[in-house]
């Protein structure tokens, strides 16, 4: 399972529809579980760092992170699942994350040097997760 923890409001309208389109194609262990928190509550929750390093692989989405290919993302997920770790993806709200979140994460992932609205990051995350599944399974969705 992949837990996606987001700052801001729930997906709605076009964003919910876009996320749903990819989610319905996913299969275990690439099944998504969403958690939404108001931005301040999310930061307070993360200050307690509720993730066990041995059992969770935490990915923080942030423009200051490392830019990787879809294949590299697929290998990150596959490695975490082989190790028996739950994947947790953190997507901030409008103001992103403080330094301590990036420092504690296993991986800080940048989609681009551009800054995207958090709603778009959610959609890109779901699409890339579906793409990662297809890469792992040898599906036809991803082309190289």
pLDDT digits (tens, 9 = 90+) for 30-42: 999 999 999 999 9
Length of the chain: 144
Is residue 39 in some structural domain?
Answer: yes
142 within domain boundaries? no
Q: Position of tokens 């423009």?
A: 63
Q: Specify the pLDDT at position 78.
A: 97
> Which DSSP state fits 11?
P
Q: What is the domain range of residue 94?
A: 2-137
Can you tell me the mean pLDDT for 40-64?
Answer: 95
Inside any domain, residue 143: no
User: Between β-strands 32-37 and 86-91, what pairing exists: parallel, antiparallel or unpaired?
Assistant: unpaired
Coil, strand or helix at 58: strand
pLDDT band at 93 (very low <50, low <70, confident <90, very high): confident
CA distance 3 to 33: 5
Q: Is residue 43 part of a domain?
A: yes
Residue 84, domain CATH: 3.40.1280.10
pLDDT at position 80, please? 97
| 128: in domain | yes
Geometric angle at alpha carbon 28, from 25 and 30, rounded to 5°: 70
Domains in the chain, number = 1
């Amino acid at each position: 399972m992949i837990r996606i923890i987001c700052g801001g409001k729930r997906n709605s309208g076009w964003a919910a529809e876009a996320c749903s389109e990819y989610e319905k194609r996913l299969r275990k262990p690439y099944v998504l579980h969403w958690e939404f928190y108001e931005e301040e509550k999310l930061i307070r929750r993360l200050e307690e760092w509720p993730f066990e390093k041995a059992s969770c692989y935490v990915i923080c989405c942030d423009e200051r992170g490392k830019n990787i290919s879809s294949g590299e993302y697929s290998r990150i997920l596959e490695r975490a699942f082989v190790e028996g770790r739950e994947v947790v993806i953190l997507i901030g709200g409008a103001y992103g994350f403080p330094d301590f979140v990036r420092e504690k994460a296993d991986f800080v992932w940048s989609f681009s040097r551009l800054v995207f609205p958090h709603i778009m990051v959610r959609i890109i995350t779901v699409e890339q997760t579906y793409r990662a599944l297809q890469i792992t399974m040898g599906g036809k969705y991803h082309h190289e």
